[in-house]
Amino acid sequence: MSDNIPLELRELIINKLPVEPLIRFRTVCKAWKSLIDSSDFIRNHITQQNQQHLLVRKAVIWNPSIRKAVDVVLPNMADFEIDVSRTILGFGVCRETRDPKIVKLRKDMEGVIPWQVEVFTLSTRVWRSAYSSNVPSKYFWFGGEQVVVGGVVYWLAINRVDAVGGCGVLIVSFDLTSEEFGEVKLPHRLDYNNCRLCMFKPREQLVAIERCPEGYKPRVYHVWVMKDGVPKLFEKLFTISGHTLDGSLVSSVQGFRKTGEALIVQVNPVQAISGFNKTLAAYEPYSKAISDLGINGSYISLSVCSYTETLLLL
């Protein structure tokens, strides 16, 4: 880049670049490395790119964009206590401070003691109590998967008090800025069917994937999106058939690509004996076309996580 261009203009140009070239440009000269590594540049770049997410695995925060990880010690836990039935982890980035946070919820298996909540912030590297004193009901039973949309963590949960007859499914939210918990009621029909949460990438919206019960022939998956963050206001986007034209079965819907295609796991009954009979494919909702992505595996080996490129952890 020409030295005749003012420094301020060069910074504006560099700030619009994606993460991968920025990592390379850090080696151009000391001035560029100092600029890209600065906290102000990283904060501005996050805002410019509207980037919110890293990945968290147990006690490790990992940024795959820059191949850097930070170990986090989980407090008040023995090795045998790492179980989603008693300990729940959530991860995201605060909208205001751009500080990555981990929230940990822990309770006893008997459900006598209320949920205990602790928050870890990367800037301080310490665990503390949440700002808000409100905690989820001790009768809530969480699923292990989380979804982060707009700086809010969402989990599926079952209210065991209301769970008689198969009801009581709801969404529990945690705002990473205010550290307040909230509840999102699902449409009544989702109380009875198996569903999971994910993010609809094109619009960055919360999505519930409804799998109809085994009695339905053929099995289908309904994709519901929460409109404008309004609880219980869900709109059905489209439906995915559980049977494909080549005879394969759709065993799950894992998430979405930026293009809006659904990522599905197909099962080939002919290869069931080998164990590695599942393939990851992209489903285009309007044409209903299915594209094999060339990724094969067993039931437990195929899983999809979404993340957004960021310079955090540099």
pLDDT in single tens digits along all 314 residues of the chain: 545 556 666 677 777 777 777 777 777 777 777 887 777 777 777 666 654 455 556 778 888 888 888 888 887 665 444 444 478 889 999 989 989 999 999 886 666 678 889 999 999 999 999 988 888 888 888 876 788 988 999 998 888 775 455 457 888 999 999 999 998 888 777 766 677 888 877 677 888 888 876 555 567 888 988 876 555 678 888 898 887 777 778 888 888 888 889 998 888 766 554 555 788 899 998 898 989 888 887 756 677 877 778 888 87
* 260: region left, alpha or beta (phi > 0 left; psi from -120 to 50 alpha): left
- For residues 127 and 103, the answer to whether their CB atoms sit within 8 Å is no
Alpha-helical segments (H) within the chain: 7-15, 19-25, 30-37, 39-49
In 3D space, the residue among 45, 43, 48, 74 whose CA is nearest the CA of residue 61 turns out to be 74
pLDDT value of position 247: 73
Residue from 169, 101, 174, 108 nearest 135 by CA: 174
Q: Say what the pLDDT of residue 310 is.
A: 83
- Report the sign of the C-alpha dihedral through residues 194, 197, 201, 205, in that order: positive
What local confidence, expressed as pLDDT, does residue 111 receive?
61
Q: What is the pLDDT of residue 215?
A: 56
pLDDT at residue 156, rounded to an integer = 87
Amino acid at 254: Q
Token pair in block for residue 279: 């393939």
The reported pLDDT for the residue numbered 82 is: 46
- pLDDT of 83: 47
Sign of CA dihedral 190, 196, 197, 198: negative
Contact 107, 114 (CB under 8 A): yes
pLDDT at 276: 57
Look at residue 173 in the predicted model and tell me its pLDDT.
92
The pair of three-digit structure tokens given for residue 168, joined into one six-digit string: 């009581």
User: According to the model, what pLDDT value does residue 49 have?
Assistant: 60
pLDDT for 144 equals 67
The two structure tokens encoding residue 12: 């504006």
CB 81 within 8 A of CB 63: no
pLDDT of residue 114: 81
Residue corresponding to tokens 């009875």: 192
